[in-house]
Amino acid sequence: MSRTAYLASLVVLQLALMSEVTPQVAEFIRVHAAILHAWDAPTAMLRMAVAGIAMLGATIVLAAPGLAFLRHHQRGGLRFLGLPSWAVCCAVAGALLFVLAFVAPHVFAFLAGAGVGTWAAVEQSVRDAAIAMMAGGAVGAELLRRSVAPPHLLQECMPIRHVHVEVVHPDDLRTRAV
């Protein structure tokens, strides 16, 4: 259950980064690059190169939840077992808060406007806090992941393997073990 919730929170985080954070990062890079404001060609080329490096770095950071999701999909349940539970809870709670931030205006509209003004004042702050909480939980979980899960958890996830050993040569050592 919590693995599914964590993977869903990674998807919500990826969507939140694409819809909320990417436009702000793109505007920041565009304004700070200001290639047209350069006084000569070498300065414009340098600013363009720096903007390209910033875009490359932002692309990697903004795609991190998707990459983590793909890694979990590739490795299966054993990858999840090494994640710290507090970080998973943080990521899932942030995802629930982010979804609540989009559902709340519709609920308030359905309830004939009760609390619409109050919600409008804090809506953006709640979404930003939810994104920060999801990102912190996901980064903490992925960075602090233990490489080996506890043995009692591994026994539950690993299939039982039957080993068949038979010694046939030399004849005096011929044994059968199952």
Helix/strand/coil (H/E/C) assignment for every residue in 84-113: CHHHHHHHHHHHHHHHHHHHHHHHHHHCCC
Q: Is the pLDDT of residue 178 over 60?
A: no
Q: Which of residues 41 and 169 earns the better pLDDT score?
A: 41
What is the pTM assigned to this prediction? Answer: 0.69
Phi-psi bin for 77: left (phi > 0), alpha (psi -120 to 50), beta? alpha
Q: How many domains does the chain have?
A: 1
Q: How high is the mean pLDDT of the chain? A: 79
58: containing domain: 2-177
pLDDT in tens, 123-159: 888 888 999 999 999 988 888 887 655 556 556 666 6
Categorize the per-residue pLDDT at 45 as very low, low, confident or very high, splitting at 50, 70 and 90: confident
